[in-house]
Every structure is written in structure tokens, then in C-alpha cells.
Structure 1
């Protein structure tokens, strides 16, 4: 039996674990065989004492550093979140300043001091953030530069606004002067409603441009607007409007009063039924009924807004060949005045001259006819006032002229030269309203009106 060799290793202190391996191999460990044949190892520990207290101190310092690092990391995370919020708010403030810079002339009173306070707050927040981190960086420098530049812009805008206030005051003074002139003009054109004891139109006021059409589009160049020429009870203040991209007529809007017209808030929108669509844009509203031209069949048509009933009547002599010069398909032109309801057209027999017809409202038929010497295709439009037909024509791009009149009582024709201004070159609807003694024009997409002054000699 082979002898069992036992390696007896005495219990050593923990310091032995710190003895380098090379020391074990350099004679500090010896081995021998004991009396009973066992193997005995001798380990010689160096005399130098290991600094265990320093190791413990290092471990504590390491723990403290780790804890401090965690605290600083938490701070950095917090600062990062705050910085993101500040940057978002700063971007919003930048947009506000940019908006004011690009459209400062639209503001009369701007709260510049509020902007300054917000910029001061940003400056303070960035300073606190930099002091907390106790460092500087290009980011902070960029923030400071941005805040400084925005402050300069705000100051410049305020200076611009203050200097512009003088200009605004001047413009208001001009506007006040114009309003005073307009008031004088209104007094000069003070209407005498219902009175036809005069010798005809003396002059036309300057155009009163209300606004662009309710569609807010320059494409709607065809159409008309105005008031009921003989309103029924409860609709005395009603306005009507219809506009289209071509000469076709297919719907109308109705507004309870002038304010609703301006606000584009219609109380009724009426679309013409299939087969009853119109054309020509020379329609009017009379006694809560719309009178317009229908091309299928070619006839004068009316729509009762109270009952929603349609009716139409043919005019055998009327031709579809002749229209006014500003638009196509204006073959039948309806008009109303103090004497009632009228329709104007041209025929082959009249060789294109305007034919005036008085309508019987009850039977919706022609009650009388007058031939004129006004060639329709040269005329811009025509209207009736106190039983007299007036025809217009262009003088230049900005001027229109009433050049012709026919008195239905005397059958007297006159060549006239009553000029008035246009807001735009072309118009598709011009009608006189006897309840106000005003002309309503649909002028290339804009609502325009005129006061009419009669010669009361």
C-alpha cells in the first residue's frame, strides 16, 4: 500500500492573501518529510505589516465618491430636463418676436414690457443653471447671445411702433377727414325716398366699396347683390347675394341685415332646383321674389322665396344674341324702381338696341314696350329710376358714364354725360333700389354702392 501524503497547511491570517505569488516561489515556502512520513510545509510570512486601515479608508472614500456621483448624475438629469423646457419656451418666445418683427405694422399697442420680463426670466434661469453646474459651455454662450439679440429686437420693435404711432395718428386724421367728407357727401345726396318730382339724375356719388364677396375669392367675378326693391313686412333690411365663377346662376344667399352681410352670416341659402338654374347675373329681388333669366327654355323666371314656387314666361321677341359688353349671356336684365318691375332685352327686330318692357307682376306678363336707341353690346349695363331707363358705357378703366336715358312717360330720349368712378374695370350687375335711392354694383367680385342725386328743379 502506498503511503498517504498529507499536506498540512496551518491557518493563516487574511493578510496572507495579499502575499504576491512570486514571494511564494522565492524561498518563503519550504517542504520536508516529518518523523512519521508526513509532508510538512513551512510558510514564512514577511515582517512588513499590511495597511488594512488604509484599505478600509479607501473603500469608504470609494463609496462616498459613488454616492456623490449618483447625486451629481441626478442633478444633471434634472438640469437636462429643465434645459429642454427652457429651450422649448425660448423657441416659442423666438417665434413670438419673429411674428412681431414681420408684422409689427399690424399692431397699434404691443405689450413689449411683458416680452422684456420673459427675457429677463430666461436670463436669470440660464445664470442659475450655469452656476449650479459651475461651468461654462458654448450652449450657455449661445443662449445668452440669443436672449441678448431678442432683447435688442424687442427694443427696436417698440421704437418702430412708437415712431409708427405718429404715422397711425396721421392716417387716422386722414380717415377722419374722409369720413367727414363722406358725411358731407351723404348730406349732399340726402335721399327723398319715393319722390319722382324731378328731371332725372344729376350726378352719382363716389363708389362705396363694402368688401370682397362672401366667398372671399376673386374668382367669383360674376354675380350681384343688393336689397329687396319692395320688401315685404319683416324683410325691410334684408340683403341678397349670389356670385359664381361664370355666368351661370344656381344659388342665392340672404342676410337679415347689413351687419350679417358684412359678417357673411346668411340666414338662408337657396339653391335653384334642377331645370330652374339661371344665367346672366342680371337678377333682382322684388317683393321677396327673385327674378332671373333661365336658358332652358330661354325665358324670364321667378322664384317666390316665401312659397319656394317657380314660374317662367317666354318673351318671343327676345334674342340670346345680344349681351352687355362686360359679360356673356346677359340677355334679360331685370330692374325695379318707384313705378314697378321692368325687364330689358334686345331683339333681331330692334337690331340689337335695348328694348324696355314693363311687367305686370300679378300675371307675370309684359304690359308695355318701349324701343330705345341704345345699342346693347356697347352698353355696360342699364337700370331704371322713376320710370326712366339709364344706360351706361365705359369711359376708361376707372370711369363709367351714364350716356343715355329714355323717359317712359314722354318717350323722350337724351344723350347724357354723367360720369362716376368704378372700383374695378368690369361689373356684371348694376341696379337701382328705390327704397334708398342707391345703385348697387357687383364690381369684379366686390360689393360697391352709389348714392344717386336727382335734379329737383
Structure 2
């Protein structure tokens, strides 16, 4: 494909979340997308490690510890060098004295008359006291040479570590953190400008936490700004009223810093979604959709989804009262369900978030009981053929053209029983509940971008 062609293909990777636990630190920086500017030049964007990751990166921590050790060694070497220098000077002075005494002793030995017996004995005693210093002198000389070598090695090591430190960008962690935050903001902005695309791939799973029962739902808000990192957690698939709200993803991983919401009406299934500060869910033993506002802790609106089956009339293949599945994508709020008049085939309805009024409906023709789970991306419903091991994304329905196709997009169902699978357009990731494990997937979207000259 020519660099200056009017149309080019864009492969777009999912954005990174703002917390440390995904991706894992060893994944590091990744290519996010590629595009062209007005002049036809290629533009590549990268995803930095998540916020605060540098502070927790084992390699960075080890580097800091090593630098501290080197610094301590250097200080110890200076003290040792000073002490050895003083001792060596003393030994050198003693060596000179010993040589003088030894010279006089030789003269006296050659001419005994020059020294009386008493003086001669005293001289011999002094020489006897000085003789043990000779091996000490040799040892000090060797130690001094070794210290010089060690000092040179430490100096070289310090220079190498400083170079590594500069290459890693670990010299000023606060400055790096601010740069990462700025980059994240720009990436999210760029991601929104790039718009939508067609799903072509799903990454390996990232297990965030193992908690709760076999069935459940967890999510972040699909619409609010990226600075809000709250996580909501709903364990179980029917009759429950308890929703946990964690302050951050990191708190969710640790199971700390959460508040509890007690819903006025119990839920059914696991197809809940948090959209712009409110929880949308299916009321137990009904086809009523409830909008619960977290800040006011109140139900803002509830509306019946006309004709929709409930109480395991038209669930996914795993059952669990999953008749009505609510979800959100770049185009808004959706309900996925089925009716008797549609013969159990999946129906998609786009909802008005404030009133829950149905704006438009599509009949996909795909039997809901044959689907493991489904999710919306850019107005397209993607359906898996099973909730068990070996599942793949098998079917796609495009609401913009009211058409469908069969797909073959594999993904690793690590824990072999998915009871919730939803796409978050803000983070461009798939949230799943897999047999008591909360798991994330990155997605790869393929898009055709037209230049202004097209």
C-alpha cells in the first residue's frame, strides 16, 4: 500500500487502564495504534505502563536498592581507605625506624667495642619488638593495592548503573509519573478521535482477581472520565441486592476501601452495566429494567422491556436468569434479549439512558440459547458460541447495516465457565466473570480511515 494513498488501513489496539494491575509490569510499553497525518506521514502511538507502575516495577526497585548498596560500599571504602592510609603511614615510619636500629645493630655487631653490653642488649630488644611488623607491612601493602582495585570497580559500576538509570527513565519518578499521566490523557483523547472499528482479535486473558461464586458481574463505568477508577462488583446471578463499590482497581484487587449499595429491587442474571454514574439492571422475576443512581442511592427510573422473556425463558446457554443483558459501547446503551414473537432469536434494542425508552430494535436471527455470551462494540453485537472451554466469537450483527456474518475469532477461556462478558468503550477492554475469576481481555479493532483527499 502506497504511503500517500487516499485510504489506508488502521489496526487499533485496546487502551490501557489507569491502574497498576493490568497489564502486568513485565508487559511494559506497547504499540497502541498507527495512522497518518495530513502529509501522509506515519504516526505511531504507544501505551505507557499504567499510572504509578514505575514505583512498583521490581526492576526499578532493585535498581534503586543496588544504587543504595553501591553508595554504602563507596562510603565504607572511603573510611577503609582513610584508615588504611593512616596505618600504612605508621608502618612506613616504623619501617624506617626499624632499618635505622637494624643498621646500628649491624655496626655494633661488627665492632662490639663501640657498644657496651647493656646498650647492646637494649638495642637487640628493640629490634626484636620491631621484627613482627614486617609481615604486617607486607599485608598493608597488599590491602592498599586491593582497595585501589575495588575503588576503580565501584566507580565503573556506578557509571554503568547511572547509565541504566537514565535509560530506564527512573532518575525522577515524580516527573515520569506526570509524563505518564499526560500521555494517558492524550491517548484517551486520541482513542476517541479514532472512532470505531471491527473486532479482529482478542488478547490472552489477564486475571485481575479470584473471588466470589461461580457466577457474577464486575465492571467500571463505561462513560465517565478516565480519572474515575471506581470498580463495581456484583456476586451471584439472582435475588441479590448487594453491590460493592471499590475506590480504585488496585483497591478491588486487594479487596479494600469499598462501600456497599443495597438495591431497593433484587436483580436477575449478570447482564448489569454501569453507565454515566448509574447501574442498569434487570429486576428479578420481571422484564423491568431499573436505573439505580449511585450518588443519590436511589432508583431514578424503571421501565418494562415490552415482550422480553425473563425467568430463564430465553437465557444464554449457561442459564442463570440471563434473559436480559444490558451493555454499553461507543454508541450508547443497549439491551440484548429475545421475545416469543422472535422465536427465541436475539433482539437488540438501543435505549434512551434517561427514560429507558426503546429507540430502535433489530432482530439478529441468532438463537439466544445457542449463545454463550455477547457484547457490543461500535454498534456491532458479537456473540460467542459457548460459555465453556473452546469458545470463540462466532457471530456478528451490524446494526448500522442491519446485516450479519459468521466469524471465527478465538479467545482463551482460561477457567472454562464464562457467565458475564462485557465491553468497556472507555478502556476498550472486555470484562469477564469466569468461574469465580475476574478477567480482562484487550481487543484489536480494524478500521478503514479516509483522508481528507478521499
Q: Normalising TM by the smaller chain, what interval?
A: 0.5 to 0.7
**Cα displacement (A) at 1:414:** 1.1
> What pairs with 1:320-339 in structure 2 (closer than 5 Å)?
320=310, 321-339=313-331
Question: How far apart, in 1, do the equivalents of 2:273 and 2:24 lie?
Answer: 30
**Cα displacement (A) at 1:266:** 3.7
Q: What is the match of residue 356 of structure 2?
A: 364
Q: Runs of 5+ in structure 2 lacking a partner? A: 1-22, 34-45, 48-186, 449-454
Tell me, what secondary structure is at the counterpart of 2:318?
coil
1:412 correspondence with 2:410? no
Structure 1 residues 270 and 199: alpha-carbon distance in aligned structure 2, compared to 1, 3 A threshold? closer
> What pairs with 1:285-434 in structure 2 (closer than 5 Å)?
285-310=274-299, 311-320=301-310, 321-394=313-386, 397-434=388-425
Q: What is the match of residue 203 of structure 1?
A: 201
Scaled by the length of structure 1, the TM-score of the pair is 0.55
Question: How far apart, in 2, do the equivalents of 1:227 and 1:429 lie?
Answer: 14
Tell me, what secondary structure is at the counterpart of 2:337?
strand
Q: Is the 8 A contact 2:287 2:309 kept in 1?
A: no
Q: What is the match of residue 222 of structure 1?
A: 215
Tell me, what secondary structure is at the counterpart of 1:193?
helix
Say how many residue pairs are matched: 270
**Cα displacement (A) at 1:363:** 1.8
1:277 correspondence with 2:277? no
> What pairs with 1:5-404 in structure 2 (closer than 5 Å)?
182-183=27-28, 193-195=191-193, 197=195, 199-213=197-211, 215=212, 220-231=213-224, 236-244=228-236, 246-273=237-264, 276-310=265-299, 311-320=301-310, 321-394=313-386, 397-404=388-395
**Cα displacement (A) at 1:181:** 7.6
Structure 1 residues 446 and 364: alpha-carbon distance in aligned structure 2, compared to 1, 3 A threshold? same
Tell me, what secondary structure is at the counterpart of 1:237?
coil
Q: Is the 8 A contact 2:238 2:266 kept in 1?
A: no
**Cα displacement (A) at 1:210:** 1.2
Structure 1 residues 357 and 196: alpha-carbon distance in aligned structure 2, compared to 1, 3 A threshold? farther
- Residues 297-316 of structure 1 show CA distances to partners (whole Å, capped at 9, x for unaligned) of 43111111112221311112
**Cα displacement (A) at 1:433:** 0.3
- Residues 370-417 of structure 1 show CA distances to partners (whole Å, capped at 9, x for unaligned) of 11022100101111111111111239x533211111111111211100
Q: Runs of 5+ in structure 1 lacking a partner? A: 1-177
Question: How far apart, in 1, do the equivalents of 2:373 and 2:438 lie?
Answer: 16
**Cα displacement (A) at 1:445:** 0.6
Structure 1 residues 349 and 258: alpha-carbon distance in aligned structure 2, compared to 1, 3 A threshold? same
**Cα displacement (A) at 1:186:** 6.8
Structure 1 residues 203 and 410: alpha-carbon distance in aligned structure 2, compared to 1, 3 A threshold? same
**Cα displacement (A) at 1:233:** 8.7
Question: How far apart, in 2, do the equivalents of 1:247 and 1:425 lie?
Answer: 21
Q: What is the match of residue 18 of structure 1?
A: none
Q: What is the match of residue 53 of structure 2?
A: none
Q: Is the 8 A contact 2:324 2:335 kept in 1?
A: yes
- Residues 239-261 of structure 1 show CA distances to partners (whole Å, capped at 9, x for unaligned) of 111112x5333211111111111
Structure number with greater CO (CA < 8 Å, separation at least 6) is 2
Q: Which stretch of structure 1 is more off in the superposition, 333-342 or 187-196?
A: 187-196
**RMSD of aligned Cα (Å):** 2.4
Q: Is the 8 A contact 2:198 2:445 kept in 1?
A: yes
Tell me, what secondary structure is at the counterpart of 1:303?
strand
Question: How far apart, in 1, do the equivalents of 2:353 and 2:24 lie?
Answer: 41
Structure 1 residues 399 and 237: alpha-carbon distance in aligned structure 2, compared to 1, 3 A threshold? same
Scaled by the length of structure 2, the TM-score of the pair is 0.56
Q: Is the 8 A contact 2:234 2:244 kept in 1?
A: yes
Question: How far apart, in 2, do the equivalents of 1:264 and 1:180 lie?
Answer: 20
**Cα displacement (A) at 1:193:** 2.7
Question: How far apart, in 2, do the equivalents of 1:352 and 1:294 lie?
Answer: 20
**Cα displacement (A) at 1:183:** 4.0
**Cα displacement (A) at 1:179:** 6.2
